[in-house]
A and B are shown apart, each in its own frame.
Chain A
Amino acid sequence: MKIYKLFFIFVLIISQTVAALPFSSHRFHTSLTRIDYNEEQKLLEITIQVFNHDLVSVLKSKNGKPVDLEKTPDIDKLIFDYLNENFVLTNANGETKTLKWIGKDSDADSARIYLETNSEDNLEGYKLKNTIFFESFPEQKNLVVCRYDGKKSDLMFKVGDKVKEIKGSEK
């Protein structure tokens, strides 16, 4: 109990320090995820877009040493491990979907991470946990756009949010 309290104080102070970060070319912490259901191949196709800068700094603090998105040999595994902790998709029966790493690419500012998972059914009733970068940036916002069977479901995760249900409405 005592340890718990101490920990709580720590985190509060983080909010005052790391919070004061915004600056011009990178004054926002966001991710944008798109999930499409490929009915023909029974696949959920997932693209997660994050800022290179955020990804590098989070993996660095997670890893305890600097990482380079191009040069670090096991960079894909580091990213995938991080996502498996912070991006968890559960089907309507409560079973966690196993994500498959497809790859990543990047431009000057941001990286796209491509993942997929087999699914007999579309996304309706699925639950998503998306806590990407929440431990690092108090103002982080994760936007998720789902499209399946002519339906759409958009979710917004901000720090404190955990699991949200995907409920489609007509496009």
Chain B
Amino acid sequence: MPLSRFAVILLVLCFSVFTFAQSKSNPSDKFRQLEEDLPTPNEQRAASGAPGAKYWQQRADYVIDVELDDANQRIIGKETVSYKNLSPDTLNYIWLQVDQNLFARDSDNATTQSAPTLEGSTLSQLEQLVARTYEGKINISNVRDAKGTPLKNTIVKTMMRIDLPAPLAPNGTFVFSLDWNYAINNGELFRGRTSYEYFPRDKNYIYTIAQWFPRMAAYNDVSGWQHKQFLGSGEFTLEFGDYLVRLTVPNDHVVSATGVLQNPKEVLKPEWIRRLKQAETAREPLKVVTNEEAKLSEAGKPNGKKTWVFKADNVRDFAFASSRKFVWDAQGHSVGGNKVMAMSLYPNEASPLWDKFSTHAIIHTLNVYSRYSFDYPYPTAISVSNRFVGGMEYPMICFNGPRPNADGTYSEQTKYSLIGVVIHEVGHNYFPMVVNSDERQWTWMDEGLNTFVQFLAQNEWEKDYPSRRGEPKNITDYMISENQVPIMTNSESVLQFGNNAYGKPATALNILRETVLGRELFDFAFREYSRRWKFKRPMPADFFRTMEDASGTDLDWFWRGWFYTTDHVDISIENVRLFQINSQNPDVEKEILRKQENSQPKTLSQQRSESLPKRNEQYSSLKDYYDDFDKFKVTDQERHDYRAFFESLDETEKSILSGGYYFYVVDLKNVGGLVMPLIFKVEYVDGTSEEIRIPAEIWRYNNFDVSKLIITRREAKAIVLDPNLETADADLSNNFFPRRTVPTRFQIFKAGQRSDIQQTPRTTRQP
């Protein structure tokens, strides 16, 4: 006895020495705090994740006069910018973004592309070459201060520096003006976030114009000037300000833009003004410009110009759309008492898909996003159709691509593409148009957060909405791959943009909400983050810290695993061991021993000798006491001893002893590397089952191997890990005890194909 106890102690010692040595030589402490990686909190950014007591940001107000030259597809503009230096620093120069230079023939975006394959180019692709007579470079002139004195300026690709005549002190304002013009890109040949769409049939254009004027670059407490060149992937961050924009267009165009129209009586027909008024209280989207009116308009010609005046307060950018082809629908909506006009503008080519879904999707987005973040703060929310934009967001206005077929029918994919993209792009009003994170630096901060809330909104659009991103099981194939970079990677260096910056962070947040924190804690913290950083510029640490601070939960392990590494989730049930209490009751225990002995397999010799005649059966004189002795038979003495023992116990001890407990020790292995909570479903022999949820902290002493004790009063027949597919576990085959064969997605699909030989093709829905 002492020997075996010694052995046990020795074993434990060996084991602990081993684990200690492992964590010392191979630092894999997945619960190590993030402080050493995050920037030190300061007066601008507090340790709680909130803006600090001395948080500051710059401000830029714009007055812009712009003409859209429909005959030559050009933008000709003048702007006056009032730049207010609210930083504690004195500035000798300022930087502007001239993103339009992305379309210059010698832009970095064009020259830094790696070589394409030379084979297989089709004639229609070669055809596009003819169009590269296009030069999209911006021409800037007349850069001058408020007195009209010329200012020295330098254009550096997609950036422009203006040298200030005198240093701009804290709290000072610098006013300057400039003129510019450029040729708009044809979206079919030079796709981008801004473009025109040409309709050969009626020779008209739809213009969706963005990133179109020289804009003040952001200057902030973390990186100074945000003068990363625009290479095409990392979108932008800018400063908040007020805009007054006068847009001069052909007088038969309908214009929509960031902000509120100031002169409706000068530019709208009286019936349009009347319908807009009606739309404020309509229960369904109402046509302001009808399909018939748009058809008439596209057949006509302008006979002059009109100037549309828009004002937008506290926005970080300004975009607009203009065309004589627009159908315009609108519906007023109230979000937390704030009146919003939801509107969609599209050509007849987009009907009836857009009439049916676009404005509905806008209002749905405002409802759901406002619930999870803050009430929508702007007076309008607009969706505009341009076939050559997949989807792109600006304050209050976004451009979206999906269109029906020429005959008005549309596929199921097209329908969900439109609903999904409208939700996504309108959702960007919250992240990053109001919560002003820096997409040129951290794409996930707005794309990931927005895709996550988009997933929530889609779940409330219809039952079983076919969302691609958000469900844990949809990200596993990506997460097991070796060729990936952590989410915390700069926008222009991200491989697999869709999975890295949209899918994985959206899924991580969904898991954080459903599995780690629970909906109530998560929603409180996420709302707190959104409200703290509304109209301010958060950094990744501000998000991580706020989510922890407001949920009261240390999530460093979660951020470390999901955002800083490329580990994936794969937890395996290696073994399950059953222990039971020895009840000491001879009637119970001896019966168990008997069963155990009887269940021992007979050896081959025993089996073959069984039928041989036995001598002691032929001669009864050979029998004695030992032949009849049953070692499992309970004696009176044993029963008496047991009763005496049982009576000596107190009530608690008695109930434990006779409670019929089963102790299951489940041995688990962390194969994928990412630590996650354990969710067990225990299936009992009596047909019932039970769910047991264990926080991820079970892995804190040993990140790779743990054992979990499950105590029940029912005999288990199976234990399943992650039964609700909520942790993104990449290999389900090791999630069962006893092991089960789990068909892959491929095998499920193949089985479905075989059993369904007369498969009817999915029909195209008629509108």
Contact = CB atoms under 8 A, between A and B. Distances in A.
Interface in A1-24: 7-8, 10-11, 13-24
B405 A18 contact: no
Interface string A139-158: 10101010100001011101
A11 B116 contact: yes
B126 A10 contact: yes
Interface stretch (B67-75, B77-85, B744-752): B744-752
B125 A61 contact: yes
A22 B496 contact: no
A47 B124 CA distance: 30
A37 to B, nearest CB: 11
A135 B390 contact: no
A77 interface: no
A23 B425 CA distance: 12
Nearest to B130: A13
Given A17-B128, A159-B115, A36 B191 contact: no
Contacts of B233: 22, 27
B121 A23 contact: no
Contacts of A97: none
Contacts of A18: 125, 128
Given A16-B110, A61-B125, A25 B497 contact: no
Contacts of A110: 468
A103 B116 contact: no
A25 to B, nearest CB: 4
Nearest to A75: B761
Interface stretch (B3-11, B410-418, B626-634): B410-418
A116 to B, nearest CB: 8
Instruction: Please give me the 7 A-B residue pairs with the lowest Cβ-Cβ distance, nearest first.
Output: A28-B497, A25-B391, A135-B120, A108-B416, A26-B390, A154-B482, A16-B110
Given A134-B116, A135-B120, A141-B495, A34 B391 contact: no
Contacts of B368: none
A136 B191 CA distance: 13
A109 interface: yes
A160 interface: yes
A50 B190 CA distance: 23
B498 A34 contact: no
A32 B744 CA distance: 16
B417 A24 contact: no
Nearest to B231: A22
B416 A70 contact: no
Interface of B: 102-103, 105, 107, 109-111, 113-122, 124-126, 128-129, 131-132, 189-193, 232-233, 235, 389-393, 401, 405, 411-413, 416-417, 420-421, 424-425, 428, 447, 466-468, 477-478, 480-483, 495-499, 671, 744-747, 749-750, 753, 761-764
A88 interface: no
Given A14-B126, A20-B192, A61-B122, 7 more contacts: A16-B110, A32-B481, A69-B411, A103-B750, A107-B413, A152-B482, A160-B117
B115 A17 contact: no
Contact of B129 (A14, A53, A145, A171): A14
A108 B390 contact: no
18 contacts: A16-B113, A19-B113, A20-B109, A25-B401, A26-B390, A32-B481, A61-B122, A61-B125, A68-B764, A71-B764, A102-B749, A103-B750, A131-B120, A135-B125, A139-B113, A152-B482, A159-B115, A159-B116
Contact of A25 (B115, B117, B421): B421
A23 B496 CA distance: 14
Interface string A20-60: 11111111101010101010000001110100110000000
Contacts of B392: 23-25
A70 B483 contact: no
A47 B481 contact: no
B226 to A, nearest CB: 19
Contacts of B191: 20-21, 23
A154 B730 CA distance: 15
A138 interface: yes
B325 to A, nearest CB: 21
A116 B193 CA distance: 39
Contacts of A81: none
Nearest to B746: A45
Given A69-B413, A135-B120, A20 B232 contact: yes
B116 A143 contact: no
Nearest to B450: A24
Given A16-B132, A20-B192, A159-B115, A71 B498 contact: no
A14 B413 contact: no
